[in-house]
Amino acid sequence: MTTWHWVRHGPTHQKTFTGWRDVPADLSDTDAIDRLRAHLPEDALVISSDLTRAVTTAHALQGGRRRLRHDPALREFHFGTWDGVHFKTVADWHPDLSRAYWETPGDHKPPGGESWNQSAARVAMAVRRIEAAHPNAHIIAVAHFGVILTQVQAVLGLTAYDVLGHTIDPLSVTTLEPSQGRAVTINHAP
């Protein structure tokens, strides 16, 4: 049985859509990082998305754990032309689409970006590939808000709309046992 320990990267302090745009994480809260590192299993493998905020957070948590190559399939949702734009501005540009994107997530997508369903499918393929390469492992995956929510959705069988009600804070861990259909913790801050 593979156990996933999904960790959201450190805070970025962005006040805009932040998807594939590569922004750094603030890792100055070393106490929180130390608590998180101590909470995670020592024998786990560590992987992250290839975006800087996830890579640097994974390095901070790695310790003596084996590090796998960062994986671009674990990137945050691709917000297309909305990336780097304030939410209010996006709502002004695309009032119906921006509302539908959050209220009926699924196939709605930003111009030049991905829908919820496309992002979830991308992440699901990566998860299956990683599990096949490392069966029965504990895997620490440092990723993003949307990525983690797609996995909570898949494991618990929720709708995209319902899973958006969950909070996933920076430097929190969500531990999932997919083969058991079980969320051990969601948004746990050690």
Q: Which domains, and CATH codes, for the chain? A: 3-188 (3.40.50.1240)
pTM for this predicted structure: 0.97
Contact (CB, 8 A) for 174 and 186: yes
**The pLDDT value given to residue 136:** 96
Dihedral sign computed on CA atoms, order 156, 157, 162, 168: positive
Give the model's pLDDT for residue 143.
98
pLDDT averaged over consecutive 10-residue blocks of the chain (190 residues)?
A: 97 97 98 98 98 98 97 98 98 97 96 98 98 97 98 97 97 97 97
Q: How far is CA 164 from CA 83, 109, 150, 160, in A?
A: 19, 16, 9, 6
